[in-house]
Amino acid sequence: MSEALLQVRNLKKHFPIRKGVMRRISGQVRAVDGVSFEVGAGETFGLVGESGCGKSTAGRSILRLIEPTAGQILFGGKDIRKLRKGQMRLMRREMQIVFQDPYASLNPRYTVRQILEEPMIIHSLFRSPAERQKRVAELLETVGLSASRMDRYPHEFSGGQRQRIGIARALAVDPKLIIADEPVSALDVSVQSQVLNLLDDLQKQLNLSYVFIAHDLSVVKHISDRIGVMYLGQIVELGESDQLYENPLHPYTQALLSAVPIPDPEARRERIILQGDLPSPANPPKGCYFHPRCKDCMEVCRTQAPEWKEVKPGRFVACHLYD
């Protein structure tokens, strides 16, 4: 891989916990605690993990919708954390986001046309109304909706169609990178596959890069070239998606994979059932964050955080088993 389009280095986002009348800071929620990965042009990087693992916060920090606490975000070699307000506004044309909730992500008071014209107006892309209308129609066709419905309101569309509108809005500024934050989790299975296929087609047509964030392993595996598995604010394992599935190294990845129900009544397999719940990111365990639930926990895991290392080319893991 040549120079990556997006390089995230040691990204951190800590939320202060405030207490008392004086709102003194009494602790930190380490929502994202040192995340690093790269995404090449035209590539899909999947970020998978359970709720509260920090995957969404990571996605929004990359776009600076949430201001990161530390780390570097290099887009095309430029550190976007160093950009001033005006420069950042221009940079937003390059990187876009698609949200999970097809109901909350579209302004209920705007028509589809207004929703899609909004980005053009913000960035002064198409000056005349006729040009803008042409572009709106084009965008709708691209995502598989009929342009004749551009003057309708979001509530007149189904969940899957709304998600297509959300995708069209992201495409309106011709971005190079789209962060897709659980884009199909709220959709029914049959509609989910329509949207996944659409994302696939758009990537091929427009050479888009995706950061695909989701909790559903089968979906992430299906769409991603490479996957990072997150646990409690950190990536514990990263690798090519088929390899990661066939030979998971980290005990958490193994447990996660084995927990996915297989849609085949005759498939039988060893299931690793994790004990207990996710610890609070405000008060993570000492040593390896995963050790209290790990089936392979060793003495060293209780005291020492494992290092993030490349065990095979392109394959990273943070686990003492591979020291």
* Binding to other proteins in span 130-149, by CB under 8 A: 149
CB of residue 287 to other proteins, shortest distance in Å: 20
User: Which residues ranging from 157 to 196 are in contact with other proteins (CB under 8 A)?
Assistant: 158-161, 166, 169, 173, 188-194, 196
Question: Structure tokens of 265?
Answer: 């009544």
Distance of CA 122 to CAs 115, 118, 170, 211, Å? 11, 6, 13, 24
CB of residue 195 to other proteins, shortest distance in Å: 9
> Considering only 4-12, 86-94, 134-142, 297-305, which stretch makes contact with other proteins by CB under 8 A?
86-94
Residue 246 or 299: the one with the smaller Cβ distance to other proteins is: 246
Separation of alpha carbons 41 and 44, rounded Å: 9
Question: Structure tokens of 241?
Answer: 């998606």
Counting residues that bind other proteins (by CB under 8 A) gives: 72
Asked if residue 254 binds other proteins (CB under 8 A), the reply is no
CB 48 within 8 A of CB 237: no
Residue 277 or 323: the one with the smaller Cβ distance to other proteins is: 277
Helix axes 112-122, 159-171, angle to 10 degrees: 20
SS3 (DSSP) at 156: helix
Separation of alpha carbons 116 and 172, rounded Å: 7
Residue 7 or 192: the one with the smaller Cβ distance to other proteins is: 192
User: Which residues ranging from 37 to 56 are in contact with other proteins (CB under 8 A)?
Assistant: 50-51
Residues written for the chain: 323
Residue 179 or 301: the one with the smaller Cβ distance to other proteins is: 179
User: Which residues ranging from 273 to 302 are in contact with other proteins (CB under 8 A)?
Assistant: 273-274, 277-278
Asked if residue 262 binds other proteins (CB under 8 A), the reply is yes
CB of residue 323 to other proteins, shortest distance in Å: 25
Asked if residue 257 binds other proteins (CB under 8 A), the reply is yes
User: Which residues ranging from 11 to 40 are in contact with other proteins (CB under 8 A)?
Assistant: 23
Of the candidates 29, 80, 255, 294, which one interacts with other proteins according to CB under 8 A? 255
CB of residue 66 to other proteins, shortest distance in Å: 10
Q: Per-residue x/- mask for other proteins, residues 202 to 241, rule CB under 8 A?
A: -------------x-xxx-xxx-----------------x
Asked if residue 87 binds other proteins (CB under 8 A), the reply is no
CB 180 within 8 A of CB 211: yes
Distance of CA 199 to CAs 179, 235, 237, 312, Å? 12, 25, 25, 30
Separation of alpha carbons 30 and 28, rounded Å: 6
Give burial (CB, 10 Å; 0-12/13-18/19+) of 264.
exposed
Q: Per-residue x/- mask for other proteins, residues 95 to 134, rule CB under 8 A?
A: -xx-xxx--xxxxxx--------xx--xx-----------
Q: What angle do CA 314, 99, 140 make, to 5 degrees?
A: 105
CB of residue 60 to other proteins, shortest distance in Å: 8
Separation of alpha carbons 223 and 242, rounded Å: 11
Separation of alpha carbons 41 and 94, rounded Å: 12
Beta-strand pair 177-181/95-98: parallel
Asked if residue 150 binds other proteins (CB under 8 A), the reply is no
